[in-house]
Amino acid sequence: MRQEPLASYLRTQGKIYWPFLIGVGVWGALISKMYAGITEEDKKNSYYWKKIEAKLHPQSHGGSHGHH
């Protein structure tokens, strides 16, 4: 059995999977840009960030279980 050269293999796979690769690149760039724009002040004011912090560090949040 003859092995296909790597460049030929990547070219063939690229023709099949290029939409996936472009999508991953676009979403990765958008998420990175949005995350980079979040300041510490935004995190302090965020309801969801407070819930995440309470789950990650329950001892520093009064030991509550997140109930209202």
Give, for all 68 residues of the chain, the pLDDT tens digit.
688 899 999 999 999 999 999 999 999 999 999 989 888 898 889 999 889 989 998 887 665 555 55
Q: Are 53 and 61 in contact (CB under 8 A)?
A: yes
pTM for the predicted model, two decimal places: 0.51
Which H or E run includes 32? helix 6-36
pLDDT at 26: 97
Name the residue ranges covered by the structural domains of the chain. 1-37, 39-68
Q: Are 43 and 49 in contact (CB under 8 A)?
A: yes
Q: Are 27 and 16 in contact (CB under 8 A)?
A: no
pLDDT at 44: 86
The secondary structure of residue 3, as a DSSP letter, is P
pLDDT at 3: 87
